[in-house]
Structure 1
Amino acid sequence: MNEKSQLLREFKEWICFVSKIREMDWQIKIAEDKWSVHDIVSHILLWDKYFYEAAINPILNNMPLTLTQIDFDQFNKDAVEFGKTKTKEELIEMTIQYRNMILQSIESLEDDKLTKEYADGEFTVISYLKDFIWHDQHHVRQIEELKRRAK
């Protein structure tokens, strides 16, 4: 299996995980003064939406990237607030939709676009996948630990 296939397979795992935790109580916080499961899913969803719209889709369509310097804390706060306006089912649906759009777009990219440096060397598709696979897995571990404690 080549690197692209392996990374796409790992990146897709978030969809399976979100579906697997559908029956969980998403309002439980992972720890005191930390996010709930609902907040985490909303957070990842909005990062997916941002990167799809600002990077992946533009690369696919040979357009300039619109990535900007983001205040991560504010972005994450906004993601939590966004999540409060959505039901669990809406978040699941949007999570699957955006993650699949990213997966399909990257799957269709020519190999040279995977390692090409965009935004003055700030972004490559391969590094994006690796970073967000790590990010997904970080939050999966948090939620899995919460599930273990709740038993």
Structure 2
Amino acid sequence: MAKSSREMVEEFKSFITFVEELRSLEEEYWDKPISEGKWSVKDIISHIMLWDRYFYDEGIGKIKLGESVTVKHLNFDDFNLKAREYAKTQTSDAIIEQFLAHRNKIIENISGLTEDEYLKEYKDGDNKKFSIRGYLKGFIPHDKHHKKQIEKYIKSQKQVKVK
């Protein structure tokens, strides 16, 4: 059975708790790649935070204001490279705070919408369909994928120190 939009919002919101729990991870573990050739925890959370910011600024926030949706299908590699570069300029605490601010803005704007409002389709900046439900449907598995990667990395560190 398909999940209701309310259930999807709760699932999307649950990643907040996971990121808050990462505060206890020592800074050195934030900056090390999670495995050879992979990103660091800081890179991953920066990447998610910047996607949240983008989709809020260009999609969800515009919908809330009754403006045209300007989300475009960006070059993921370029966007993600910029997210990793940005992560290098921030502390883990700063990345966490920014993630929380952007994710909470999204949650505040989509909580309490009717099922019709979740399903409503808008034309995005590429003249393709955009809906809040579609957005959640795409990003919940994205969050889960990165959560599993981070959890595996933390478990692989034999003696992870907490702050």
**TM-score bin (small chain):** over 0.9
Q: Which residue of 2 aligns with 1:52?
A: 56
Of 84, 87, 95, the residue aligned with 1:83 is: 87
Partners in 2 of 1:6 and 1:18 — Cα distance?
20
1:69 corresponding residue in structure 2: 73
SS across alignment from 1:148: helix
Residue 43, structure 1, aligned to residue 47, structure 2:
yes
Indicate the residue corresponding to 1:5 in structure 2: 6
Unaligned 5+ residue runs, structure 2?
159-163
Q: Please list, as runs of the form range in 1=range in 2, the aligned pairs for 1:54-133 lying within 5 A after superposition.
A: 54-119=58-123, 120-133=127-140
- CA–CA separation in structure 1 for the residues paired with 2:115 and 2:61: 16
Distance 1:146 1:91 in 2: 19
Letter of the structure 2 residue corresponding to residue 134 of structure 1: P
Range with bigger deviation, 7-16 or 135-144: 7-16
- Per-residue CA deviations over 1:29-88 (Å, capped at 9, x if unaligned) read 111111000000000000000000000001111100111231100000001111111111
TM-superposed CA distance for 1:108, in Å, is 4.2
- Structure 1 unmatched ranges of 5 or more: none
**Count of residue correspondences:** 150
Q: CA RMSD in A?
A: 1.3
Paired residue for 1:17? Answer: 18
Q: How high is the TM-score relative to the length of structure 2?
A: 0.87
- 1:32 alignment partner AA: E
Return the offset for 1:121. Answer: 4.4
